[in-house]
Structure 1
Amino acid sequence: MQSVDGEPQQAGRGSPARAMADVSAVFVAVLGTMWIASRTPGWAPWERDTFGGLWLVQILALMIVPLLVVRLLGWRPGRLGVTFGDIGRPAEAGLTALVVVGPASGLAFPLLGMLGWTPFDWAGGLVLAGVYAVSLPLTGLVLRKLRPTSADSLTGAQLTVAAGVLAAGLVAALLTADAAPLVSRVLIGLLVVGPGEELVFRGIVQTRLDQAFGRPWRVFGADLGWGWVLASLIFGLAHFLSPVGAGQGGWALWTAVAGLLFGYVRAKGGSFVASGIVHGVLLAVSAVFTPVP
């Protein structure tokens, strides 16, 4: 039996309990992959020496594994905002948001360095949380009239292009790992971590929760609901539990607040591409100023 949107109709599929179970499965799979990689002898050192960063681990954890879990759960990724279709609209949303968020973030990270703070401690976390909290309504003002894409497909051709971009970045990282390791750090944030985290948390998690909880709120022209809030909290929790900087409360705080901003941009763009552009560019900029813990 098919539902009106083309997904198979199953008992409890639209319930909050089922949605939380689906989200939990993705969450555990992503973090589990990261922790297994961090505990595998020689894996992380080899990747850092070879590529200047954890490229393969992050591609596996943030892109391949969550998409496999989604398929095993019976969902089409396109129905969860994981699509490159009609890419102009989400690209416009992401690039327009950067007009506000880019300068704010570009000033905040160097400021932390000048003050001797980091994004992982409470002082730095409070500063960044404040920056992204202020950036949200300002971003809303510039995006409020933009209409999101209605595209909901993820084709083989789209995946091929995405894989080609990742491969090009990986080759560039390989060639510059020794002479210019900063190139790898910038590219991995821009092409892997930013888009990958948005695929997981704003594509799969937020959209899945939206389907269960609805989007009854109108926030600066975007239809949002409890899924937006819960996805942001889960995003902060993921950073708190991540093997990189595990247990850092300041990091969890500001990433949760930033998640609200990314979630809004994703809603206005209609796919994870919109927030992936913003997130990727911000990580690329921060890589220049922030040392890896």
Structure 2
Amino acid sequence: MDPSAPSVAATPVTSARWIAPVLAPALAVLVASGLLAPMPEGVQFSDVVRSAALWAVILVLITIGVGVLPLLFGSVRPAKRAGGVGRAAPGRVLPALLVVSGFLVLTALAGRTPRLAFFAQFEHNWQGKVVDLLWVGILFAVLWRWARDDAHLTWRTRPGSGRTALIVIGAVFVLFAGLTVMSVSIDPAMHQQVGAEQLLYNTTIPNLTEELIWRAAMLAVLDRAFGTPWRLAGAPVGWGLVVTSVAFGAGHLILLSANGEFSLSVSGGIFAALMGVLLAWIWAYTRSVWPAFLLHCAPEAAVDVGMLLTG
């Protein structure tokens, strides 16, 4: 089968059979956390959930706001022929945005649900990422043909794309490792200790789940609705890249602490949005989620390595 061929199987927009099994693990952990999770002094479980829901609503509004722009300006036109991920389907834009919004709510609640005792002992939020991996894994298992053909959940990359992808991933790693070494050399106070947990967190499940959700799931859904009429350095892209990159940036711009306090990180938001574009590009260019995962790991792992080299 041609790896670029569109899936004719059910997708998250055309089928509802994925909804109940996908919701199950997220809701189960939410209930368990409400009953068993140790809470910081003075913080109520309901307040944490309310803040997480508000954070999710803000991201949903941003996502839908950006997503309807091409409809308002007539940038999404019906295809002359039916079928094909590369051809727009305007009638499915709003349903696709609603599905993506559902994914946003799930990952927002998973990442901000109070941690159970086992996970509370760790510095990083492994619980949220494991829950994300569970529900997105179930999504792909239920709609496995869509996952393989549209979401590019495959080890095989597009022929001829592997070398370019490795060059980009290596360049990003070297850049950030070099910047870290240079920064610490100029100002030793910037040095931070890097432990085994941090190395594992920056190179395993957390970045994998984000790529499975933001690129493999969200971008696949949006590309089928918006189409991919543009070319970005050899990769077929469209409004899905814009929507996911803006939302990804907004998720790192608007921060929510464990006790429900909001703050802004402008630099984090800008960097995440730019990385969102690069990650969407490599996903579309290689037609595989795994190079996107490696690229997502590259800057964080490079900073860790830079810290270790200067330690």
TM-score by length of 2: 0.60
Which residue number corresponds to residue 10 of structure 2?
8
Question: Which moves more between the two structures, 191-200 or 261-270?
Answer: 191-200
- Taking the aligned partners of 1:24 and 1:91, their CA distance within structure 2 comes to 32
Are 1:106 and 2:177 an aligned pair? Answer: yes
- Taking the aligned partners of 1:285 and 1:33, their CA distance within structure 2 comes to 27
* Change in CA separation of 1:288 and 1:42 when aligned onto 2, cut-off 3 Å: farther
Letter in 2 for 1:237: A
The CA deviation at 1:6 is 2.4
The CA deviation at 1:188 is 1.7
Letter in 2 for 1:267: A
- Taking the aligned partners of 1:110 and 1:246, their CA distance within structure 2 comes to 29
* Change in CA separation of 1:5 and 1:81 when aligned onto 2, cut-off 3 Å: closer
Are 1:65 and 2:82 an aligned pair? Answer: no
- Taking the aligned partners of 1:66 and 1:283, their CA distance within structure 2 comes to 23
Which residue number corresponds to residue 284 of structure 1?
301
* Change in CA separation of 1:289 and 1:71 when aligned onto 2, cut-off 3 Å: same
The CA deviation at 1:35 is 1.1
The CA deviation at 1:69 is 4.9
Question: Which moves more between the two structures, 215-224 or 77-86?
Answer: 77-86
The CA deviation at 1:256 is 0.6
Letter in 1 for 2:177: G
Alignment of 1:140-159 (within 5 A): none
- Taking the aligned partners of 1:238 and 1:75, their CA distance within structure 2 comes to 29
Which residue number corresponds to residue 205 of structure 1?
218
More helix by share: 1
1:95 is aligned, of 160, 166, 170, to 166
* Change in CA separation of 1:220 and 1:76 when aligned onto 2, cut-off 3 Å: closer
The structure having more radius of gyration, on CA atoms, is 2
User: Identity rate of aligned residues, in percent?
Assistant: 18
Check conservation: 2:119, 2:127, Cα contact below 8 A.
no
* Change in CA separation of 1:7 and 1:255 when aligned onto 2, cut-off 3 Å: same
Q: How many residues align?
A: 220
Letter in 2 for 1:217: W
Letter in 1 for 2:174: P
* Change in CA separation of 1:115 and 1:228 when aligned onto 2, cut-off 3 Å: farther
Check conservation: 2:136, 2:213, Cα contact below 8 A.
yes
Check conservation: 1:236, 1:255, Cα contact below 8 A.
yes
* Change in CA separation of 1:106 and 1:6 when aligned onto 2, cut-off 3 Å: same
Which residue number corresponds to residue 130 of structure 1?
none
Alignment of 1:1-293 (within 5 A): 5-8=7-10, 10=14, 15-36=92-113, 39-40=114-115, 42=117, 44-48=119-123, 53-61=124-132, 63-69=133-139, 76-86=146-156, 92-111=163-182, 114=186, 182-241=195-254, 243=256, 247-288=264-305
Q: Which runs of 5+ in 1 are unaligned?
A: 119-179
- Taking the aligned partners of 1:211 and 1:7, their CA distance within structure 2 comes to 12
Q: What's the Cα RMSD here?
A: 3.5
Letter in 2 for 1:203: A
The CA deviation at 1:73 is 8.4
The CA deviation at 1:285 is 1.9
Check conservation: 1:236, 1:254, Cα contact below 8 A.
yes
- Taking the aligned partners of 2:268 and 2:212, their CA distance within structure 1 comes to 20
Which residue number corresponds to residue 84 of structure 2?
none
The CA deviation at 1:107 is 2.7
Check conservation: 2:152, 2:287, Cα contact below 8 A.
no
* Change in CA separation of 1:181 and 1:112 when aligned onto 2, cut-off 3 Å: closer
- Taking the aligned partners of 1:116 and 1:20, their CA distance within structure 2 comes to 46
Letter in 1 for 2:129: Q
